[in-house]
Amino acid sequence: MIHLRDVKKSYSRGEQSVLACAVDRLDIGTGEQVALIGRSGTGKTTVLHILAGILRPDCGEIEVAGKRLDKMGESARDRHRGRNIGMVYQTFNLLQPFTALENVLLGALFGRGAGGDAKERASSLLDKVGLGDRMHHRPGELSVGQVQRVAICRALINDPQLILMDEPLGNQDKTTGGQVLDMMLQIASDTNKTVIMVTHDPESAKRMQRTVDLASLRSGVAEEAAK
């Protein structure tokens, strides 16, 4: 499902160049559920954005769901993302003027999920994450934990092959977080979806099949840090 080779992304700030992420090699199979861990600032969000095709790295090969993202232009990557990838952003990125239900439905506009039953599927997802009675609330009228759960529903609405989540449960209490993650992972394993979740929570990481520490994928970092 995923193959990364010699991928690097840096940002330049004036004369200084900041290495945001470096991955020599990462392979993830179809249906795998992977926790991505690493200290703050080690490039976890950057890697997820590269996998989603939102960011283009400076170099390297990126294969996701059979497509070489490094050989595709921005609009082709956007289409690929809409069809194949569900993304839960670290900052959620819900649209404020729209209700929870509308935000989930907006996700369907960009993917293959815009069929006639989209509304039923959106309601049923919101119900499953315990927001059945909050569907017509706007993000500003929801708690951060509830907004997070709406973002998870939006990521699932298109039935994507690959689900990328950037600390999706950081604002949940333990019980709710555990329940939402279990529901996600159940849907994923029933339908053989691949899941990559950035997390700081060892309990959440344990629920995944495999844990990848971003630091272990980077070479040349010690030299960079020493400079």
Ligand X SMILES: Nc1ncnc2c1ncn2[C@@H]1O[C@H](COP(=O)(O)OP(=O)(O)O)[C@@H](O)[C@H]1O
- Contacts to ligand X by CB under 6 A: 11, 18, 20, 38, 40-46
Burial class (CB within 10 angstroms; exposed 0-12, middle 13-18, buried 19+) of 110: middle
Q: Which of 45, 84, 99, 161 binds Mg ion (CB under 5 A)?
A: 45
Is residue 99 close enough to count as binding Mg ion by CB under 5 A?
no
Residue with Cβ nearer ligand X (38 or 168): 38
DSSP-derived secondary structure letter, 207 = H
**Least CB distance from residue 78 to ligand X, whole Å?**
19
Residue with Cβ nearer ligand X (44 or 218): 44
For residue 168, the partner it binds in Mg ion, ligand X, none, with Cβ less than 5 to 8 A by kind, is: none
CA–CA gap between residue 27 and residue 209 (Å, rounded): 14
Within 8 A by CB and 6+ apart from 84, the residues are 64, 65, 160, 161, 162
Terminal C-alpha separation, the chain: 36
**Least CB distance from residue 43 to Mg ion, whole Å?**
8
**Least CB distance from residue 216 to Mg ion, whole Å?**
17
For residue 40, the partner it binds in Mg ion, ligand X, none, with Cβ less than 5 to 8 A by kind, is: ligand X
CA–CA gap between residue 177 and residue 171 (Å, rounded): 8
**Least CB distance from residue 200 to Mg ion, whole Å?**
10
Burial class (CB within 10 angstroms; exposed 0-12, middle 13-18, buried 19+) of 12: exposed
Residues that bind Mg ion (CB under 5 A): 44-45
